[in-house]
Amino acid sequence: MRRASSLPLPQPAGADEVQGWRTIRALLPYVLRWRGRVALALVCLVGAKLANVAVPLVFKQIIDALSITPAQALIVVPAALLLAYGALRFATSACTELREILFARVTQQAVRSIALEVFEHLHALSLRFHLERQTGGLTRDIERGTRSIGSLISYAIYSILPIIIEIALVLGIMIHKYDISFALITIATLLLYVGFTISVTNWRSVLRRQANELDSAANARAIDSLLNYETVKYFSNEAYEMRRYDEHMHAWMQAQVRNQYSLSVLNLGQSLIIAAGVTVMMWRAAAGVADGQMTLGDIVLVNAFLIQLYIPLNFLGVLYREIRQALTDIERMFGLLRTQREVEDAPDALPLQPGPVTLRFEQVGFAYDARRPVLEDVSLEVAPGTTVAVVGHSGAGKSTLSRLLFRFYDVSTGRITLNGTDLRQFTQKSLRRAIGIVPQDTVLFNDSIHYNIQYGRPDASAEEVLAAARAAQLHEFIERLPDGYETRVGERGLKLSGGEKQRVAIARALLKDPPILIFDEATSALDSQTEKAIQSQLEAAARGRTALVIAHRLSTIMNADMIIVMDQGRVAERGTHSELLTQCGIYASMWALQQQEPQQEN
């Protein structure tokens, strides 16, 4: 069972403060892109607080004026004073709403810009990063981070800053109009309240971080299980999956309970401090009235200030907790942005120019893990208009060749060249545009068949999509479906069979029409009849292009111009089909075994 102890050790509070300021500094440029709106919103904010503080002052004048006889009231209290009171009340609300209107676009645009930047960065990260991360936890981090951006901006601009301005105005008025003791009591209460809130919230942030880690882990566990729904069913492991998920949820529940206990401690302490401060302040005001140093309007003014000050101050504790939580969530998302790209374009990288391409692997070596080399001293050449096939037993390193060609990884030794130039000198975008692939494991988007085929070239016309489907022997199958090309394929294409998904992948690659084609076990999921029908289409598609075929079925690559036989990451044999048979080596043995398979099935 995974417990909280298996999580990364929490950082000290000082480190949290440093991370918080770093997160705020990273967020500011996105907000300051709208300097004009931010400035106007701040003007409205100050105007709202000035109007809000002026209300009790006007109310004090009204109370003092009404302390005389009723007969004198209409004379002493002018109607303008009452109108001013109403106008100030309305001005507070008007300035607040105007501030909201001005700042709404700033907040939402900042969220949009950051979310887009994270999305783009994730696509730019290496395949290794995505293979090592769980999608469920990753999406939860992004979701919480983008949501927290709006919360943080809202709390900082709409709540924290107004409270600070109002506290400053109230303290200034108290120092100017009354005994210094009123301001000292207010300052002491504020300092005690803020100090207590910060110390307890720093303690709670550790619990909150643990709850977030466990929440992400539970979500990742659930999504991983649901994505592998068929595998769970194959082995009747529903109960096992439930137990694993419940282990995560149990740990998350305990973290949430501890989090709630700490919240109660914080709320009780804050309430006690505020209650003590209000009691002392009102006692001092009442004593001033009894001594004749303050009027009835003064005690109403002090009481109104206390209400205006301590109600948002009470909310300040909640704001501080939410801000800390938002900073933690945003920090995780910004952490994704700080993740270094394993494969970067060279500063002087140039786009690969359209046209025929000669592909060459020159003494290429590569290892996913330095302790276990996958390729060693691999050399081969594929000229335009020729087809080179790579065969070998599972784990020989065949599919790694295509990953290196796409620059999902960079070679450890040697180099790969296109028309004599190291592919690392080309931009990754132009390189990948020049390569079409039919992968062994085809993954489709949860959208229509038409969308998945058109994904090969999003600007392709409907006629071109249909032509690609026909070339992949897929059109007749689609026409028999009730919804035709608009049939949705389900999550990762699970509504289609393996052969149907592979034909969609073939159609997608044909639609892309690139100068380099890679067929990575392109017909491995097809039956023999369909394979033969598609084989001629693949050969036609490869004609005139640089074609690299990675195959397990040797019958599909008999006509290749060159066949490379790999064994334990090295090139063991090379030659045409007939040449390799005469060598009586690895290829001849594989051919003999595959020739026996139909006889065994019969």
Question: Which of 43-52, 147-156, 411-420, 495-504 has the least mean pLDDT?
Answer: 43-52
Judge whether 7 lies within some domain: no
Reported confidence tier of residue 496, pLDDT bands at 50, 70, 90: confident
pLDDT at 248: 84
Q: Please state, in angstroms and rounded to a whole number, the distance separating the CA atoms of residues 159 and 282.
A: 26
Q: Domain check: are 214 and 187 in the same one?
A: yes
Question: How does DSSP assign 411-441, residue by residue?
Answer: -SEEEEEETTEEGGGB-HHHHHHTEEEE-SS
Mean pLDDT of 350-371: 89
Reported confidence tier of residue 112, pLDDT bands at 50, 70, 90: confident
Q: Which amino acid appears at position 526 of this protein?
A: L
φ and ψ at residue 235, rounded to 5 degrees: -105, 10
Q: Among residues 493, 513, 533, which one ends one of the domains?
A: 513
CATH number of the domain residue 538 falls in: 3.40.50.300
Q: Among residues 274, 308, 338, which one ends one of the domains?
A: 338
Statement: residue 211 has pLDDT above 90: no
pLDDT at 84: 54
Q: What pLDDT, in 10s, does the model give residues 299-346?
A: 777 767 776 676 666 666 667 767 777 887 888 888 777 777 778 888
Q: In terms of pLDDT, which residue wins out, 500 or 69?
A: 500
Q: Edge-to-edge strands of the sheet including 413-418?
A: 375-382, 359-366, 413-418, 421-422
pLDDT at 464: 92
Statement: residue 530 has pLDDT above 70: no
Q: Among residues 495, 513, 531, which one ends one of the domains?
A: 513
Packed helices 35-65 and 161-177: angle between N→C axes, nearest 10 degrees:
40
User: CB under 8 Å to 4, separation ≥6 — which residues?
Assistant: 210, 213, 214, 251, 254, 255
Q: Domain check: are 244 and 226 in the same one?
A: yes
Reported confidence tier of residue 379, pLDDT bands at 50, 70, 90: very high
Reported confidence tier of residue 34, pLDDT bands at 50, 70, 90: low
Range from 17-26, 189-198, 425-434 that averages highest in pLDDT: 425-434
pLDDT at 15: 52
Judge whether 348 lies within some domain: no
In this prediction the pTM is 0.61
* CA dist 317 → 202, 209, 263, 279 (Å): 12, 18, 10, 20
Q: In terms of pLDDT, which residue wins out, 578 or 29?
A: 578
Q: Domain check: are 415 and 451 in the same one?
A: no
Judge whether 350 lies within some domain: no
Range of the domain at 212: 18-338
Percent of the chain beyond pLDDT 70? 76
Q: Domain check: are 246 and 369 in the same one?
A: no
395 φ/ψ sector (left φ>0, alpha ψ -120 to 50, else beta): left
Q: Domain check: are 270 and 139 in the same one?
A: yes
Quote the DSSP letter at residue 385: T
Query: Taking CA 564 as the corner, what is the angle to CA 588 and CA 397, rounded to the nearest 5 degrees?
Result: 105
Q: Domain check: are 545 and 423 in the same one?
A: yes
Q: Sign of torsion, CA 404 409 412 413?
A: positive
**Contact in structure between 387 and 535 (CB atoms under 8 Å):** no
Q: Which two tokens stand for residue 366?
A: 């590569």
Pairing of the two strands 435-438 and 516-520? parallel
- Please, what's the b/e burial string for 239-254 (b: 16 or more CB within 10 A of its CB; e: otherwise)? eebeebbebbbebbee
Judge whether 129 lies within some domain: yes
Judge whether 344 lies within some domain: no
Q: What pLDDT, in 10s, does the model give residues 137-180?
A: 677 777 778 877 877 777 777 677 777 777 787 788 778 777 88
Statement: residue 289 has pLDDT above 80: no
pLDDT at 381: 92
pLDDT at 78: 47
Q: Domain check: are 134 and 259 in the same one?
A: yes
Question: Which of 172-181, 388-397, 441-450, 483-492 has the least mean pLDDT?
Answer: 172-181
* CA dist 468 → 437, 461, 499 (Å): 14, 11, 16
Q: Domain check: are 179 and 291 in the same one?
A: yes
Statement: residue 365 has pLDDT above 80: yes
Q: Domain check: are 85 and 163 in the same one?
A: yes
Element (H, E) at 448: none
* Average pLDDT over all residues of the chain: 78
Element (H, E) at 389: strand 387-392
Q: Please state, in angstroms and rounded to a whole number, the distance separating the CA atoms of residues 356 and 516.
A: 8
Judge whether 584 lies within some domain: yes
pLDDT at 414: 92
Q: Please state, in angstroms and rounded to a whole number, the distance separating the CA atoms of residues 135 and 307.
A: 48
Statement: residue 134 has pLDDT above 70: no
Q: In terms of pLDDT, which residue wins out, 486 or 60?
A: 486
**Contact in structure between 117 and 125 (CB atoms under 8 Å):** no
Statement: residue 272 has pLDDT above 80: yes
Q: What pLDDT, in 10s, does the model give residues 45-94?
A: 667 666 666 666 665 666 565 554 444 444 444 444 455 556 555 666 66
Domain count for the chain: 3
Q: Domain check: are 366 and 230 in the same one?
A: no
Statement: residue 107 has pLDDT above 80: no
Q: Domain check: are 448 and 405 in the same one?
A: no
Packed helices 296-338 and 180-227: angle between N→C axes, nearest 10 degrees:
30
Q: What pLDDT, in 10s, does the model give residues 441-464?
A: 788 888 899 999 998 889 999 999
pLDDT at 121: 79
Q: Please state, in angstroms and rounded to a whole number, the distance separating the CA atoms of residues 212 and 148.
A: 13
pLDDT at 362: 92
pLDDT at 142: 79
Mean pLDDT of 351-374: 89
Range from 192-206, 291-305, 415-429 that averages highest in pLDDT: 415-429
Judge whether 227 lies within some domain: yes
Q: What pLDDT, in 10s, does the model give residues 188-208?
A: 888 888 888 878 877 777 777
CATH number of the domain residue 217 falls in: 1.20.1560.10
| Nearest Cα residue to 507 out of 486, 478, 527, 529 | 478
Mean pLDDT of 198-223: 80
pLDDT at 557: 85
Judge whether 351 lies within some domain: no
Q: Domain check: are 473 and 520 in the same one?
A: no
pLDDT at 87: 59
